[in-house]
């Protein structure tokens, strides 16, 4: 009985780990997840709220901002928001490209 419960718990843990891996992969593959695929924003003031709006890809915990830097890439200036999860301490970087719309 005890052994069976332990096996069930291990299976649940493995399933949770697999799910977390998939969420992490999705984070890196989505817009803003890499320097080659920044999320386009209209204002630099949206960078931090956007970076903090999503939960930790690994555990779903709340993220805290570590730094917000401007990074040159070719002719464009990207924004990198580094965050750390308050629960599992994983660190993430969200990439943004600020494109101001020209007034008509
Ligand atoms: Zn976390």
Whole-number pLDDT of residue 3: 78
For residue 32, give the 3-state DSSP assignment. coil
**Residue 104, in any domain of the structure:** no
**Residue 103, in any domain of the structure:** no
Q: Which domain holds residue 15?
A: 2-98
Determine contact, residues 65/49, Cβ cutoff 8 Å. Answer: no
Q: Tell me which of 18-22, 29-33, 98-102 is least confident.
A: 98-102
Q: How many domains are contained in the chain? A: 1
φ and ψ of 32, to 5 deg: 95, -10
**Residue 29, in any domain of the structure:** yes
Whole-number pLDDT of residue 4: 86
Whose CA is closest to 83, among 46, 59, 55, 43? 55
Query: How far does the centroid of ligand 1 lie from the alpha carbon of residue 51, in Å?
Result: 14
**Residue 47, in any domain of the structure:** yes
**Residue 33, in any domain of the structure:** yes
Determine how many CB atoms are found less than 10 A away from the CB of residue 57. Answer: 22
Cα–Cα distances (Å) from 11 to 4, 6, 16, 38, 100, in that order, read 11, 9, 9, 36, 49
**Residue 22, in any domain of the structure:** yes
Entry pTM: 0.84
**Residue 74, in any domain of the structure:** yes
Query: How far does the centroid of ligand 1 lie from the alpha carbon of residue 77, in Å?
Result: 29
Query: How far does the centroid of ligand 1 lie from the alpha carbon of residue 82, in Å?
Result: 14
Determine contact, residues 34/55, Cβ cutoff 8 Å. Answer: no
Query: How far does the centroid of ligand 1 lie from the alpha carbon of residue 57, in Å?
Result: 7
């Amino acid at each position: 009985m005890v052994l069976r419960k332990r096996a069930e718990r291990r299976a649940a843990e493995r399933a949770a780990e697999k799910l977390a891996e998939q969420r992490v992969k999705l984070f890196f593959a989505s817009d803003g997840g890499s320097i080659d695929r920044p999320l386009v924003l209209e204002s630099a003031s949206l960078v931090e709220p956007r970076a903090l709006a999503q939960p930790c890809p690994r555990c779903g915990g709340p993220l805290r901002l570590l730094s917000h830097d401007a990074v040159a890439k070719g002719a464009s200036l990207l924004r990198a928001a580094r965050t750390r999860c308050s629960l599992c301490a994983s660190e993430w970087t969200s990439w943004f490209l600020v494109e101001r719309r020209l007034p008509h």
